[in-house]
Amino acid sequence: MNILLFAAADVAAILILTFGLYLRRHRRRDLAVSYIGINIGVFAVATALAGSTVSAGLGMGLFGVLSIIRLRSTELEQHEIAYYFSALAIGLITGMGPTPIWLPLALVGLILIAMLVADHSKVLPTYRHQEVILDRAIANDEELHAYLGLLLNGATIHQAVVQQLDLVNDKTIVKVRFSAPRIDLIEQPSSRTVENHEVMTGQTR
pLDDT at residue 198 in the model:
41
pLDDT at residue 2 in the model:
83
Q: Which of 169, 161, 106, 114 is nearest to 137 (CA)?
A: 169
Q: Calculate Rg over the CA atoms of the chain.
A: 25
Strand duo 171-179 + 127-134: pairing: antiparallel
User: What's this model's pTM, rounded to 2 decimal places?
Assistant: 0.69
Q: Which of 83, 17, 88 is nearest to 59 (CA)?
A: 88
Separation CA 168–CA 66 (nearest Å): 45
What order of strands is seen across the sheet that includes strand 127-134?
Answer: 127-134, 171-179, 156-166
Q: What are the backbone angles phi and psi of residue 157, rounded to the nearest 5°?
A: -85, 120
Separation CA 81–CA 169 (nearest Å): 36
pLDDT at residue 16 in the model:
96
pLDDT at residue 110 in the model:
96
pLDDT at residue 11 in the model:
95
User: In tens digits, what is the pLDDT along the chain, a chain of 205 residues?
Assistant: 588 899 999 999 999 999 999 998 888 888 899 899 989 988 988 888 776 655 556 666 666 666 666 545 567 788 888 999 999 999 989 988 878 889 999 999 999 999 999 988 787 777 788 889 998 899 898 899 899 988 888 888 888 999 999 989 889 999 998 888 765 444 444 444 434 434 333 443 3
